[in-house]
Structure 1
Amino acid sequence: MFRHYLKVAWRGFKRASVFSFINITGLTIGLTCSMLILLFVKDELSFDKFHEHGHQIYRVVSQSTFKGESKISSNTGLLEGPRFAAHVPGIRSFVRIEYDGTDFKKGTEVQSMNFFRADSNFFVFFSFPLIAGNPATCLKDPYSIVLSKTEAIRQFGSTDILGKTVLLKEDTTFKPYTVTAVAKDCPQNSSIRFNALSPIKVSAADEANPQNWFSSFLNTFVMLDDHANLGQVERQMKNYYFKDASVTFKSLLQQYGLSASEASMEDYRLQPIAAMHLDKAISSGNGISATSNPVYSYILSGIALFILLIACINFINLTIARSLKRAKEIGIRKVVGSNKKQLIIQFMGESIILCMISFCLALLLTELLLPLFNTLANKSLSLSYLLDAGLIASLAGLFALTSFIAGFYPALVLTRFEPTKILYNRFDVQGKNYLQKSLVVVQFTIASFFVILTFVVYQQFKFLTSADLGYDDNNLVLIEQYNAQPKGAIFQKMLSENPAIKEVAAKNGGLHSTLAKTSGGAVINFLSDMITPNFLDELKIPILTGRNFSPTNPTDSIDKILVNEAFVKEAGWTAPLGQKITITPEDNKVVEVIGVVKNYHYGSMNEPINPQVFRWQDINKLNAFYIKIQPGMSSAALNHIKTTYQALFPLSPYSYNFVQQSNKMQYSDIAKWRQILLFGGLVTIIISFMGLFGLSVLSSERRRKEIGIRKVYGASVGGIIRLLTTDYLKLVLLSLIIAAPITYMAAHKFLETMLYRIPLSVRLFIIPDLLVILLAFLTIYLQTRQSATVNPVKSLKND
């Protein structure tokens, strides 16, 4: 019996090869997308769950308030770990991790290294296996170092390297560190990823200084006892902290001129290590890999579900539409004794065979597409991830569900036909086709949703990457160097002598915040930028009122400042020139405003422009060089910059960034959204139009005689095409109308997350809708034109 069903199914596939191809292709694409997304979601959910005592490990995080603004941070100081472990019951041990990007020397070559420092119990606390070395003692010596397998091979060509030395830079000299262990490479689903690890160095004076409660620059992890109560531990942490640090906190408030209502003490809590990766409320830092937005997993899962649903809809629609061709087969089977159960088994069997073929092809396609998907998702997934009991069960469930959805309903419809009506051609298979039409509407509603949303995200990305930032970042190269030798002026002079270089200015590297008090008593937290006098001119940042620093007036570097518009607004000044502020952390240094700079986007356009103060600094004390290159002379300029840099700073690794490219990289998140939605939109469109093409073919075949009769009575080719296309185009148009409000809400929600955004105009909907209608028309037209031009004699000769 099984062999008979298999033979019948194979004959059916061969007779309807086009529709079998459409079904198999649609299901293959749907299953491939589902497999890829299952791999992605599995990886996201598995982060940091490989640690043996992971259920007991927590990261210390804190919440504080400054001037009414609440902030949650994962940064801690030196004291949280040792003092909480010593005074809070339930905390068994702690580990502090400090990111300390440094340089290492190999022969005469100097390179940067991804370098961490940690407490000596790091490899006992966490489950990072060692290839060689003792986990309990490898970090005891202050000048010991543990290398990852990849780093060991890169440095020495082998992992058998215990006792060998690595030269690491400390201040201005290189010191030897002894390799005491080699660790396996960190798993890709680990938030802590190191190439090299050395002991954290904390002096007794630092451990005793209570101000180190408030100097946050590392991550602290604690391990709780087996039966510790989390809520109780957090309350005891808070009580001890207030008891131990409140006096110091009050003195700091007084030092910075703040009141108790303007700033609060930290409210410490514990975050499970397994929750770090998907917790967007707490940003990562200090070398901990960036958190991921769990929304990505939800969106991707939704896309996979929609794509699979569309593929199943294609299967159902095409199977029912083809029922006319199989009607007599069903009638004859019923006449010779086949019952409903046997027919359902036959049609379900055909569905399962199709799904099995699609499933095997999907596995192959998944393997082929994994490199591209890894690039898209910034992952390193492999098909071996599928060799997991839970994931195999998920895939088996996916296969069973797809087979059932795609085959059960068509089987029920086809087995309801009455044999007498079938054999005498007195039946109407199609009826009014409400289900079929509804499924087409659902398909194109989903497809148009993706197309419109992709267009909105694309336009927003285009806006962010092409918007006026308030300064000129064209042909601008940034080089940062941290060599302590004061050679900035020489570097500037040597670069400026080359005709390929237009100008060189300098600034302090990174973003530095500090506090100041205005004459009116307002305390302002601002970004402090130390610059050379030509910095603003080089970047074409306008001065709205007042003047720039003048090289002919050396006192400008002592007590004069420039402020931006945001500072003026927060200070509440109407006449900013001549105003004085007191910089509290610098022994209450008083400085005077001589100019107001127009606001510019020094960071991402997803961040607000904060108060900013510019001060003149000697170029020899600055480390970020902004080099303006003559247009069309990048190659010559970069060669000269590299040669000059390496001659002046031989102990510092050379690297450069084009500022414009770095600015665009700030929007990698939205770029990922754009890629994900484009991927979903393309796949849904392809599957939907494949299904529409198949339905138009079947519709033309079903109405073959009607078309012939109409042509005999004088109907034109254009009229026939209009007749055959109108019904489906109405369904596509209806789907666009249904998709519009849904897409509007989704697009509005997306744009709300952007500080600067495009207006949600009608144009964003009309353009993609017209594209969908045009593609739908072309899909149907290609088939219907062929049917409309057939000689009516061929259509009617059998009647």
Structure 2
Amino acid sequence: MFKNYLLLTFRTLSRQKVSSFIAIAGLALGITSVLLLFAFIDYHRHFDEFIPEDSQIKRLVCRTTDVYGRELVGGLRSVNYYVSEVIRENVPGIGESVRLAVNEGVRIRDGEDIFFEMAYCVDPGFFNLIPFEVVAGSRDLFFSEPDSIVLEETLAEKYFPGGNALGKMVNLIDGQGNPFRVTGIVRVPSNSHLYNARSQVFVPLDFFRNIINKSSDIGFDSPDSPVKLSLYFKPVAGFSESILQKEINGIVNQIPVNENITSMELSFEDFKDIHLYSRENSGDVLNPLYMILFLGLLTSLLLIISIINTVSILTAQSLARTREVGIRLVMGSRRMDLAVQFFSESFILTLFSLIVSLVLLELLLPSFSNLVSVDLAVSYTPAFFLFCLLLVLIVGAAAGAYPVLFLSSLDPVESLKGKKLLKLGKSKKILLVSQFLFASIVLLWSLVFNNEIRRIQNLDPGFDSENLISIFPGWDLDMEPVEKLEGLKGDLKRIPGVEEVSYTGYAPFTGGMGDVNLFTDEEGVSHYEIVTFIDPDYLKAIGVETLEGDSQREGAVIMKSANEYRKLKPGDLIELDSVNYRVSAVIEDYFIDGPYGDMPKFHVISKNGPFYFQLIKLSHNVDIGEIRQVWREYFPDRIFEYHYMDESIEAGIVLPVVRTLERVMNLTVAITLFLSALGLFGLILQTLKQKTKEIGIRKVLGAGFWTVITQVLREILILIASGVSIGIVLGMVSINPLVGSLGYPFPVHNLFLLSLLSALLIVMAGMLFIGTIVFKAAGANPAEALRYE
């Protein structure tokens, strides 16, 4: 039986080669997009699989609310050392546990060079609970010696290329001056939430404690310590999660919290759920689930459009088979047999499309991996093939449902007369409208995404970033004597081409530290303000305009936007974070964290900080080596890490994930328009075949060329316009929530104009494409058309 269905399908495909090719190509693209999404989901689904299934490892999650009403959920940086000790000692349900703190700026000396490395500061038993693959050394002896260190595999190769790093010495500048011995090398899987693109060095937690206790007035063990760490643990055997949560809830009130914290909630999450389902990044655009849902939305649209194309073509092909159906019904065929045959043809057509899709999958997977910045691979497992089979069944049923219902319901007499043909008009209208509806939605989304990203990229940051470099030395500059900082500034300014040198606690588009101030205006509106420290030359170095006062005199400098509700003038006394200052100047607004982040509203001019960055303004390109040489004379044991501000702005103004979404959106538009063109081509081709005799008769009766064109195009143009109109309305309604979910809290710009442009492009493209086919049919010899019929 299957052999007969297969032969009938081949005969149908061979009789209508062009439309069959279009159907297969369209379905293949839709199915390929689904398979690429499957590979993307499969990659994220297999995160942290190096942990045994029965491990039961949990991670503590801390949710706090501060006095400003902001919620913070911490996972990798959840609680401080004091809280972790309270929990470990007072919660009976917690068994084996380890802590991990992140130090992103540990310095390693390699000969004359100094490097910043990502340090994971961990308890001695960390590798027993978190079983990373051991490349060299013994897991139980990793931190058995004083001043031990464990390297991630790629870091070991960096410092000891081609050789075994085990037993070698590494000089950590932040330590006590003693070199650290490499006692182990591990491999951190790239599909783990603990993996970082910067290779990790693992050091004892006491190493971090010593650094903090030396550099901060607040001890590492203090309840007020700002250093946050994560706590991983195994519940004691036999403890249920509900009982464990009750125990944790019972000690929350015993934990002293900072005066700025109004509430604290502690919970836990499974180790393997952290990557996709952690509450730490819920609702965040950086959450992998967000990208999966976004890609799923675009993939669904592509698949729907490809199915619509196939339905259009199968429906059009069925017009030529009504007499075949009538003859078979007269000869005694059952309607169920007809339905099975036509469904089989749809499934076989979908199966052919799947075979093409598997080839396309292998060809497109590397490019798609680059597009989404993930190293994807397809595992041809039974689960994959089962998914493919399920996909064939769903797509085949969806694509063949309407043609099957139509053909199997034909009346034998009417089908032999051909009268039923006219009743297909409504279905073709619905399919054509649906196709252009979805195409217009995707095009509008793409235009808006591109417009918003270009607009953000072209925003004036409000300061002069040209030839401005920022230097991050990796420690608080204000720890050094003011005389030393002034001496460095003076020597740097002697270098030809160096215009200004300044210090700041917060470098634009780079980051830093600032104090928080909450101000309530006369109308009862609360304003969240950030206060950062600058030296007298900072505003001059970045070229920010002073509106009132003297921006080099010590005191508080206020941004214009903050002064709209503060209503201050130079000389007024203000209180910022419990300290009184005199207002020295009012300055123009400028962006610090991009157009969507909180920016310091106040700058406090001071010669002794706290400072974290040095800014240098150049009049032209200067040899950075000269600046580095002067710098090293003052700080020989410090890293000279610099960035051009223009590069920081370009990298920080648009999130990388948003750029990825933009590229994916543009690719989706291209495929959508291609699919729409394929479906439209097949539909119009079948329609013109039916109208060949009509066109010939009209021309014989004296109808002109343009009259014929108008008659054929008018109805199609109305359908396209209807689909585009509905699609544009739906696109306009959905675009604001879509863009807002990316973390950009501003309205979409030029939406009406972009909607008109989208509609115009779709209609023009559709009419141009149809016109080329219709013009050829309208210009044909009527004698040929009539002879053909």
SS for the counterpart of 1:95 is: strand
SS for the counterpart of 2:203 is: strand
Tell me the TM-score normalised to structure 2 length.
Answer: 0.86
SS for the counterpart of 2:267 is: strand
Deviation at 1:448, TM superposition (A): 0.8
Deviation at 1:159, TM superposition (A): 7.5
Deviation at 1:310, TM superposition (A): 1.3
Correspondence list, 1:364-513, <5 A: 364-384=359-379, 387=381, 390-417=383-410, 422=415, 425-482=417-474, 492=489, 496=493, 501-508=498-505, 510-513=511-514
Change (3 A) 1:720 1:625: farther
Q: Deviations over 1:292-339 (max 9, x none)?
A: 153332222122122112111111111111223334554555566655
Q: What's 2:275 paired with?
A: 277
SS for the counterpart of 2:419 is: coil
SS for the counterpart of 2:745 is: coil
SS for the counterpart of 1:266 is: strand
Tell me the TM-score normalised to structure 1 length.
Answer: 0.85
Change (3 A) 1:127 1:239: same
SS for the counterpart of 1:211 is: coil
Correspondence list, 1:1-400, <5 A: 1-48=1-48, 50-52=50-52, 55-74=56-75, 75-101=78-104, 102-157=106-161, 160-170=164-174, 175-193=178-196, 195-201=200-206, 211-245=222-256, 253=259, 263-278=261-276, 282-283=280-281, 291-292=286-287, 294-331=289-326, 339-384=334-379, 387=381, 390-400=383-393
Tell me the distance in 2 between the aligned counterparts of 1:406 and 1:90. Answer: 55
Could you tell me whether the CA contact under 8 Å between 1:513 and 1:525 is conserved in 2? no
Amino acid at match of 2:274: M
Which shows bigger deviation, 457-466 or 404-413? Answer: 404-413
Residue number among 568, 574, 581 corresponding to 2:575 in the alignment? 581
Tell me the distance in 2 between the aligned counterparts of 1:773 and 1:670. Answer: 29
Could you tell me whether the CA contact under 8 Å between 2:269 and 2:278 is conserved in 1? no
Tell me the distance in 2 between the aligned counterparts of 1:154 and 1:507. Answer: 33
Deviation at 1:615, TM superposition (A): 2.2
Change (3 A) 1:291 1:118: farther
Q: Does 1:628 align with 2:606?
A: no
Q: Deviations over 1:133-188 (max 9, x none)?
A: 333331343522222233333333458442222232216x8642222222223232
Deviation at 1:696, TM superposition (A): 1.0
Correspondence list, 1:574-613, <5 A: 574-575=568-569, 577-581=571-575, 584=578, 590-613=580-603
Deviation at 1:465, TM superposition (A): 1.9
Which shows bigger deviation, 392-401 or 85-94? Answer: 392-401
Q: Does 1:540 align with 2:533?
A: no
Deviation at 1:110, TM superposition (A): 3.0
Tell me the distance in 2 between the aligned counterparts of 1:244 and 1:342. Answer: 74
Tell me the distance in 1 between the aligned counterparts of 2:304 and 2:294. Answer: 15
Tell me the distance in 2 between the aligned counterparts of 1:420 and 1:167. Answer: 93
Could you tell me whether the CA contact under 8 Å between 1:561 and 1:616 is conserved in 2? no
Could you tell me whether the CA contact under 8 Å between 2:311 and 2:400 is conserved in 1? yes
Change (3 A) 1:334 1:638: farther
Change (3 A) 1:707 1:531: same
Number of residue pairs matched? 761
Could you tell me whether the CA contact under 8 Å between 1:64 and 1:72 is conserved in 2? no
Tell me the distance in 1 between the aligned counterparts of 2:308 and 2:765. Answer: 19
Change (3 A) 1:751 1:315: closer
Q: What's 2:785 paired with?
A: 795
Amino acid at match of 2:169: T
Tell me the distance in 2 between the aligned counterparts of 1:164 and 1:778. Answer: 71
Change (3 A) 1:61 1:675: same
Could you tell me whether the CA contact under 8 Å between 2:220 and 2:227 is conserved in 1? no
Deviation at 1:709, TM superposition (A): 0.8
Tell me the distance in 1 between the aligned counterparts of 2:3 and 2:255. Answer: 81
Could you tell me whether the CA contact under 8 Å between 2:520 and 2:527 is conserved in 1? no
Q: Deviations over 1:237-259 (max 9, x none)?
A: 344343353xxx5xx75xxxxxx
SS for the counterpart of 2:423 is: coil
Q: What's 1:259 paired with?
A: none
Gaps of 5+ in 1: 254-261, 551-555
Tell me the distance in 1 between the aligned counterparts of 2:286 and 2:536. Answer: 39
Tell me the distance in 2 between the aligned counterparts of 1:155 and 1:135. Answer: 21
Which shows bigger deviation, 292-301 or 274-283? Answer: 274-283
SS for the counterpart of 1:221 is: strand
Structure 1 vs Structure 2 CA RMSD: 3.6
Tell me the distance in 2 between the aligned counterparts of 1:518 and 1:790. Answer: 79
SS for the counterpart of 1:228 is: coil
Could you tell me whether the CA contact under 8 Å between 2:94 and 2:234 is conserved in 1? yes
Deviation at 1:222, TM superposition (A): 3.2
Amino acid at match of 1:124: N
Change (3 A) 1:793 1:269: same
Tell me the distance in 1 between the aligned counterparts of 2:209 and 2:464. Answer: 46
Tell me the distance in 2 between the aligned counterparts of 1:788 and 1:280. Answer: 62
Correspondence list, 1:535-574, <5 A: 535-550=538-553, 556=554, 560-565=555-560, 572=566, 574=568
Tell me the distance in 1 between the aligned counterparts of 2:219 and 2:723. Answer: 69
Q: Does 1:690 align with 2:678?
A: yes
Residue number among 643, 650, 656 corresponding to 1:657 in the alignment? 643
SS for the counterpart of 1:431 is: helix
Tell me the distance in 2 between the aligned counterparts of 1:750 and 1:305. Answer: 16
SS for the counterpart of 2:275 is: coil
Could you tell me whether the CA contact under 8 Å between 1:276 and 1:291 is conserved in 2? no
Q: Deviations over 1:457-481 (max 9, x none)?
A: 2222222222233323234332322
Which shows bigger deviation, 85-94 or 372-381? Answer: 372-381
SS for the counterpart of 1:170 is: coil
Deviation at 1:360, TM superposition (A): 2.2
Could you tell me whether the CA contact under 8 Å between 1:27 and 1:355 is conserved in 2? yes
Which shows bigger deviation, 362-371 or 48-57? Answer: 48-57
Amino acid at match of 2:668: G
Deviation at 1:492, TM superposition (A): 4.8
Change (3 A) 1:334 1:582: closer
Could you tell me whether the CA contact under 8 Å between 1:518 and 1:581 is conserved in 2? no
Deviation at 1:442, TM superposition (A): 1.6
Change (3 A) 1:789 1:516: closer
Tell me the distance in 2 between the aligned counterparts of 1:4 and 1:29. Answer: 28
Change (3 A) 1:359 1:689: same
Tell me the distance in 2 between the aligned counterparts of 1:466 and 1:609. Answer: 19
Change (3 A) 1:160 1:209: closer
Tell me the distance in 2 between the aligned counterparts of 1:67 and 1:730. Answer: 55
Deviation at 1:33, TM superposition (A): 0.7
Could you tell me whether the CA contact under 8 Å between 1:149 and 1:159 is conserved in 2? no
SS for the counterpart of 1:320 is: helix
Q: Deviations over 1:625-684 (max 9, x none)?
A: 333344xx55x5556656766787665555443323322333224333323322322222
Could you tell me whether the CA contact under 8 Å between 2:740 and 2:746 is conserved in 1? no
SS for the counterpart of 2:558 is: strand
Q: What's 2:762 paired with?
A: 772
